[in-house]
Amino acid sequence: MIATSRKSSWETAILVAAACLLFNACSCMGNRVSRDEVEAINGVFRGSVSSLNEAMAFRRTLEGFSFEKTDFLDDTLSQIQGSRDVSNTLFVSIEELQAISYKGRLSNLGAYILEYCDAAIDAQGELETVLNGLESVLRVVEPVLREEIVITKFETQQITTEILQRLINIREALETSLVNLDGVDVPEILAGYKSFYGDLLTAMHEITVGNIAALQGQASNFHAEVSPDLARVQQLMSDYPQLIEDILDSLKISRVDPLVERVELEINRLFLEEVQ
């Protein structure tokens, strides 16, 4: 009787162990992630990241401001509109990512992706505000930019009615832009951008007024090339690229990169270790 009891106990233990192994195997199979599934998520994610990058495509054009670049205004406004258009594509990708069910071995990836989605939406909202502000400022200074001027090239010995009239037109454009610029509301992040154009146009106005007076024989001692206002213009233009870099680098969209990298690392981990 004792022997039979012992045998029965061993058989029971073996059966229990086998059942546990079978249960664990089934659980593991249920948690497996297919390569196709991860690749599909990765494709949507990559599309959203691409849209974010495209939304910043206006950066290079904006950084290249110069009065000698006659197409600066049109190119920049076109890029700004292009960045707005990208928003639609981005939001479609974000909605797809948010709709995915991240269970089992996808739970970590899901947490990272949803955090990225929240940050991307927030960044895109801020960017839209900045794009509106940039366009508002550019539209206000457009009359001046359309003049395609290089004031320092004017010399008193080149007096002609055409040159004088052009300077008068420039002066009027500057005065109109300065008045309108005062009324433009921009987000705090663009305060320096608005101030840049305010200071630039003010200095240019002083130079233009001096040139007009000199051409009309009312200020024979005025020489634009040695004017402190010209030095101010040159300093502002020299500082401009750094101003734009500081503004754009402070945007929330620039802080999404670490979240993108974390998602990428988790996707790579799934491909290398988890996908079966």
Residue 182: band (very low, low, confident or very high) from pLDDT cuts 50, 70, 90: very high
Q: Read off the pLDDT of each residue in 47-69 and give the average, rounded to a whole number.
A: 91
Measured distance CA(242)–CA(51) in Å, rounded? 25
Please give the share of the chain, as a percent, with pLDDT higher than 90: 60
For the cut 90, the answer to whether the pLDDT of residue 176 exceeds it is: yes
- Answer yes or no: is pLDDT of 151 > 60: no
- pLDDT for 32 beyond 50: yes
CA distance 177 to 167: 15
DSSP state at residue 32: -
**Signed CA dihedral, 122, 124, 127, 132: sign only:** negative
Please name which of 119, 137, 259, 257 lies closest in space to residue 189, comparing C-alpha atoms: 137
Q: Are 263 and 113 in contact (CB under 8 A)?
A: yes
Task: Considering only residues 226 and 2, tell me which one the structure prediction assigns the higher pLDDT.
Answer: 226
Domain ranges of the chain: 1-31, 32-274
pTM score: 0.80
d(CA 33, CA 40): 12
Q: What is the pLDDT of residue 215?
A: 77
Query: In the predicted model, what is the mean pLDDT of residues 200-226?
Result: 83
Q: Which residue has the higher pLDDT, 219 or 57?
A: 57
What does the alpha-carbon distance between residue 151 and residue 142 come to, in Å, rounded to a whole number? 17
3-state DSSP assignment of residue 70? coil
Structure-block tokens of residue 230? 């010209």
Lowest-pLDDT choice from 51-60, 115-124, 142-151, 241-250: 142-151
| 232: Cβ contacts below 8 Å, ≥ 6 apart | 199, 203
* pLDDT per residue as tens digits for the range 221-276: 777 677 899 999 999 999 999 999 999 999 999 889 999 999 999 999 998 875 45
- Over 50: is that where the pLDDT of 174 sits? yes
| Mean pLDDT, the chain, whole residue set | 84
pLDDT at 27: 42
Structure tokens at 162: 């055409």
The counts of H helices and E strands in the chain are: 9, 0
Half-sphere exposure (Cβ direction) of 17: Cα atoms closer than 13 Å: 6
Judged by average pLDDT, the poorest of 86-90, 161-165, 190-194, 218-222 is 218-222
